[in-house]
């Protein structure tokens, strides 16, 4: 860790996997390749400088930091070019609108619920890993995920109608369950 | 569940990303180091400022008295320091001013690690005023007290400390009391003092009763030594208290409580600032209990205007000066005939 020229073996071995998590999490929020790459780079650099402390739970750590960094980018974007929430969203496609809603919703959730949603649905970590990282029972993770999701749906509701037109009644954030999906055409991402 | 938000193009950790991570990590590490040093500087500076402010605040709280120029002599660090110590009934100016209940001259020799306590009897005639030592403080004149002491023993005096009775009580209580072993049961109907023979823990009020007692009954028999006996009890008490003080804590909080007590109950000369006082306290702690000697200025009974007084001669002053400087005690100083023998020691 003291030699800046080379990464320590344990970090190097997991670099690709961790970078992929960081990129996935931030792209899901940001939807832009250069921005998501920047977030992934920043996140991995931060993991690297405190690697001895991060190593034991690197995947959830990276996912969390990447999500926070990505949300920061979103708010920076909005500060630069504020969007009137009532303005027609013609210039945005459904997925972009979903991302906007997702970022806003994540910001407004209680910390615990946000963490569970980030780890479980943005980083696609299994429930057990999320529970281990947060130091709680799997049941608690399920509970937080459930509550978080339903709040997210409520928070996204104002846009639901608009999105609904384009997405056949789905909020656009969450794909319908597979059984439903067979009956209705999946909205194009 | 959110796969539809994913990048349709595959992502792989490119060498460029690796290089970027390394570059950024080096930057972060430098920043972390400099952040840590900024925090360290802020903490150190803040602590220094806070302690300085604290010392100033405590210092400002303590009553100061300016003695006439030439009364006090400057003293170099680690040189023996001579302090006039006055125990008064009050530091307030109300009710006609304080009276000096106890006047002592103490010499603290940091190099030798010794403490010599010279007491002045209350009824001793003050050669400067012709009145009694007990009345020397009336009028609140610290310069007068130091001048009188100087005239009696002619040693240069460096500092002046005056403490009132409540301050004495508070200091003893702050120490957690003082343990004394008395060889016989003692009582004083005037101060309400009553101690069994053996070791007991004296709180501030009891200790004050002991050092102020002039009508002591030892084992039920009145002690004829009156004020002179009282002086030796004061000295015994101070010796015990100092021996036990060295084992008590000197953390900043304890120091702060002592400083508060001094702020409420003491008057110091204006050359004795708080840092000085703390240094004196530290030197006091280095004094071994067996290096504490006490002595009362010798004197001869006389009568003045029908009142019993004491007068000291030039030879008496020489004896006191010798004692102060090297702790020499003149031959036998047995108590007066028929006086019940009372021994008071630390336990």
Strand, coil or helix: B195: strand
- pLDDT tens, A122-178? 999 999 999 998 888 999 999 998 888 887 777 665 544 444 333 444 444 554 444
Place of tokens 């920061």: A72
Check whether A27 has a pLDDT greater than 80: yes
pLDDT in tens, chain B (347 residues): 788 888 888 888 889 999 999 999 998 888 878 888 888 888 888 887 877 777 777 777 788 888 888 888 888 878 899 999 888 876 555 555 566 678 889 999 988 888 999 988 888 888 888 888 877 766 667 888 898 899 889 899 999 998 888 888 998 998 888 999 988 888 888 878 888 889 999 999 899 888 888 788 888 888 777 677 888 888 888 888 888 875 555 667 777 788 888 888 888 888 888 778 878 887 887 888 788 888 888 888 888 888 888 888 888 888 899 899 888 777 655 444 444 578 888 88
Look at strands B217-218 and B221-222 and give their pairing. antiparallel
Enter the tokens of residue A81: 């070019």
Check whether A181 has a pLDDT greater than 60: no
Enter the tokens of residue B33: 């180091």
A37·B17 Cβ contact <8 A:
yes
Check whether A88 has a pLDDT greater than 60: no
d(CA B105, CA B234): 13
End-to-end CA distance of chain A: give it in Å, rounded.
41
Nearest by CB to residue A189, choosing from B4, B26, B27, is B4
Is B100 in contact with B85 (CB distance < 8 Å)?
no
Is B267 in contact with B83 (CB distance < 8 Å)?
no
pLDDT attached to residue B21: 92
Nearest CA in chain B to A19: B13
Is B334 in contact with B229 (CB distance < 8 Å)?
no
d(CA A31, CA A29): 6
pLDDT attached to residue A184: 47
φ, ψ (nearest 5 deg) of residue B222: -65, 135
> CA triplet A51, A54, A60: central angle to 5 degrees?
135
pTM of the model: 0.57
Place of tokens 């120091």: B255
A15·B18 Cβ contact <8 A:
yes
Q: For residue B328, how far is the Cα from the chain centroid?
A: 24
Q: How far is B2 from chain A (nearest CA, A)?
A: 6
Mutation test of the interface with chain B: which of A7, A19, A31, A51, choosing the one with the most B Cβ atoms within 10 A? A19
List chain B residues with CB under 8 Å of A41.
17, 20-21, 24
Q: For residue B309, how far is the Cα from the chain centroid?
A: 30
The closest of B100, B323, B133, B342 to B217, measured between CA atoms, is B342
pLDDT attached to residue A36: 94
φ, ψ (nearest 5 deg) of residue B81: -120, 130
Is A39 in contact with A73 (CB distance < 8 Å)?
yes
Nearest by CB to residue B28, choosing from A31, A45, A187, is A45
List chain B residues with CB under 8 Å of A173.
2
Look at strands B186-188 and B114-120 and give their pairing. unpaired
List chain B residues with CB under 8 Å of A5.
22
C-alpha distance from residue A2 to each of A6, B26, B228 (Å):
9, 10, 76
Mutation test of the interface with chain B: which of A2, A44, A67, choosing the one with the most B Cβ atoms within 10 A? A44
Beta bridge partners of B142: none
Mutation test of the interface with chain B: which of A29, A48, A67, A170, choosing the one with the most B Cβ atoms within 10 A? A48
Polymer length in residues for chain B: 347
Place of tokens 């072993």: B181
Count Cβ atoms within 10 A of the Cβ of residue B83 and give its class: 0-12 exposed, 13-18 middle, 19 or more buried: buried
Among A2-16, A43-57, A96-110, the range with the most confident prediction by mean pLDDT is A43-57
Is B132 in contact with B140 (CB distance < 8 Å)?
no
A41·B17 Cβ contact <8 A:
yes
User: How many other C-beta atoms lie within 10 A of the C-beta of residue B9?
Assistant: 7
Beta bridge partners of B120: B103
pLDDT attached to residue B157: 92
Q: Which residues of B255-281 are buried (b: 16+ CB within 10 A; e: fewer)?
A: beebbebbbebbbbbebbebebbbebe
pLDDT attached to residue A139: 93
Q: For residue B198, how far is the Cα from the chain centroid?
A: 26
List chain B residues with CB under 8 Å of A121.
1-2
pLDDT-based confidence at residue A41 (cuts at 50, 70, 90) = very high
pLDDT attached to residue A178: 43
Q: What is the largest CA-CA distance in chain A?
A: 57
Check whether A17 has a pLDDT greater than 90: yes
Polymer length in residues for chain A: 189
User: How many other C-beta atoms lie within 10 A of the C-beta of residue B46?
Assistant: 10
A15·B2 Cβ contact <8 A:
no
Q: How far is B22 from chain A (nearest CA, A)?
A: 7
List chain A residues with CB under 8 Å of B11.
19-20, 23-24, 27
List chain A residues with CB under 8 Å of B7.
23, 27, 33, 36
pLDDT attached to residue B179: 92
The closest of A62, A184, A187 to A122, measured between CA atoms, is A62
pLDDT attached to residue B347: 87
List chain A residues with CB under 8 Å of B4.
95, 175, 187, 189
Is B284 in contact with B114 (CB distance < 8 Å)?
no
Name the strand (E) or helix (H) holding B91.
Answer: none
B→A interface, C-beta within 8 Å: 1-9, 11-13, 17-18, 20-29, 32
């Amino acid at each position: 860790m003291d030699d800046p020229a080379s990464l320590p073996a344990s970090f190097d071995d997991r670099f690709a996997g961790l970078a992929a998590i960081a990129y996935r999490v931030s792209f899901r929020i940001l939807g832009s390749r250069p921005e998501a790459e920047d977030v992934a780079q920043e996140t991995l650099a931060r993991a690297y400088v405190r690697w001895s402390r991060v190593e034991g739970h690197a995947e959830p750590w990276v996912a969390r930091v990447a999500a926070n960094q990505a949300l920061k980018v979103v708010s920076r974007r909005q500060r630069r070019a504020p969007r009137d929430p009532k303005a027609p969203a013609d210039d945005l496609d459904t997925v972009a609108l979903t991302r906007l809603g997702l970022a806003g919703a994540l910001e407004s959730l209680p910390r615990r619920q946000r963490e569970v949603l980030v780890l479980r649905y943005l980083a696609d970590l299994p429930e057990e890993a999320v529970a281990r990282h947060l130091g709680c029972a799997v049941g608690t993770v399920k509970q937080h995920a459930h509550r978080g999701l339903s709040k997210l749906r409520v928070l996204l509701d104002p846009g639901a109608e608009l999105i609904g037109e384009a997405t056949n009644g789905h909020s656009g954030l969450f794909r319908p369950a597979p059984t439903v999906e067979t009956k209705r055409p999946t909205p194009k991402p | 569940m959110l796969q539809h938000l994913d990048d349709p193009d595959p992502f792989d950790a490119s060498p460029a990303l690796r290089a970027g991570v390394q570059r950024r990590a080096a930057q972060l590490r430098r920043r972390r180091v400099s952040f840590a040093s900024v925090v360290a500087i802020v903490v150190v500076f803040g602590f220094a400022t806070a302690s300085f402010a604290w010392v100033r605040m405590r210092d400002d709280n303590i009553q100061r008295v300016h003695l006439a120029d030439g009364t006090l002599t400057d003293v170099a660090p680690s040189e023996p320091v001579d302090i006039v110590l006055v125990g008064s009934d009050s530091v307030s100016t109300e009710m006609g001013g304080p009276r000096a209940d106890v006047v002592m001259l103490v010499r603290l020799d940091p190099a030798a690690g010794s403490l010599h306590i010279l007491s002045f009897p209350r009824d001793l005639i003050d050669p400067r005023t012709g009145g009694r030592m007990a009345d020397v403080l009336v009028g609140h004149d610290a310069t007068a007290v130091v001048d009188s002491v100087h005239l009696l023993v002619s040693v240069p005096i460096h500092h002046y400390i005056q403490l009132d009775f409540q301050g004495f009580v508070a200091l003893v209580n702050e120490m957690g009391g003082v343990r004394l072993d008395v060889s016989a049961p003692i009582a004083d109907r005037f101060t309400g003092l009553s101690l069994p023979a053996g070791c007991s823990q004296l709180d501030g009020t009891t200790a004050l009763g002991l050092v102020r007692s002039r009508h002591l009954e030892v084992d039920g028999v009145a002690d004829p030594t009156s004020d002179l006996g009282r002086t030796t009890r004061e000295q015994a008490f101070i010796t015990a208290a100092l021996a036990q003080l060295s084992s008590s804590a000197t953390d900043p909080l304890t120091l702060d409580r002592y400083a508060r007590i001094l702020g409420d109950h003491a008057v110091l000369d204006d050359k004795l600032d708080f840092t000085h006082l703390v240094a004196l306290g530290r030197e006091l702690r280095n004094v071994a209990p067996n290096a504490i000697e006490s002595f009362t200025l010798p004197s001869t009974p006389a009568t003045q205007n029908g009142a019993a007084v004491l007068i000291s001669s030039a030879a008496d002053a020489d004896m006191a000066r010798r004692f102060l400087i090297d702790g020499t005690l003149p031959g036998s100083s047995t108590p007066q005939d028929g006086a019940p023998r009372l021994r008071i020691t630390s336990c």
